[in-house]
Amino acid sequence: MEALEAIRQTRIVPVVTFHKPESILPTFGAMLSGKLPVAEITFRTEFAAEAIKLGAMTFPDMAVGAGTVTRASQAEAAIECGAKFIVSPGYSEQVHDICIGADIPYIPGCVTPTEIMNVLDHGIELIKFFPSEQYGGLKTIKALSAAFPQVTFMPTGGINESNLIEYLSNPRVVACGGSFMMSGSYDDIAAKCANAVGLVNSLK
Ligand code: 3PG
């Protein structure tokens, strides 16, 4: 399934940071057993590229993407390893160009009207609103939506089981990103993913 379609359907993008290589496969396994086949693997540790490669190879039906991509070299490494989408905390024209060249979606972070106008000029209409809670959460998303009717949002940062439904109830919110389901044992991760999927399904 195309990555954006997977994100639109699951409506949750787990933000996953690996601190040791031996946790990569069991973590993907736990996410899949919780029926959450999307992962944004952050370039915050040295294991990101390896995790993307292993995940993409072992679970081809999973939409494995890269997050916290701030440099062109990270985008290149992620795509080389099989990343199906790229997320950045802000907008990088270099990263965007690499995504265009590879024909994969780029979801950059934006919080201000000027930042949004800049990405609209570059043909991007789905943005990561990050860090969401710190920048006013839904209240800010609603105000920005009025000015930018073409923009849709993937808020990330401070989202968890208690505010997920409220965010996802907003028609302009395509999906929410977050790490809230990624802590604890592998069983905990599977259970938290399943619970998050259940919350999404309760909106259908
Ligand atoms: C991210 O990188 O997108 C955020 O760190 C995720 O935010 P959270 O940890 O508050 O969910």
Nearest-angstrom CA–CA distance, 187 and 177: 21
What pLDDT does residue 170 have? 98
Kindly state if the Cβ of 180 falls inside 6 Å of ligand 1: yes
Nearest-angstrom CA–CA distance, 130 and 90: 8
Alpha carbon separation from 48 to 20, 29, 81, 171 (Å, rounded): 10, 17, 10, 32
Question: Annotated catalytic, 40?
Answer: yes
Count of Cβ atoms closer than 10 Å to residue 202 Cβ: 9
Please identify which residue in the block is written with the tokens 């923009």: 151
Residue of 5, 22, 35, 40 with catalytic role: 40
How far does residue 157's CA lie from ligand 1's centre (Å)? Answer: 4
pTM exceeds cut of 0.95:
yes
Q: In this predicted model, what pLDDT tens digit does every residue of 131-177 receive, in sequence order?
A: 999 999 999 999 999 999 999 999 999 999 999 999 999 999 999 99
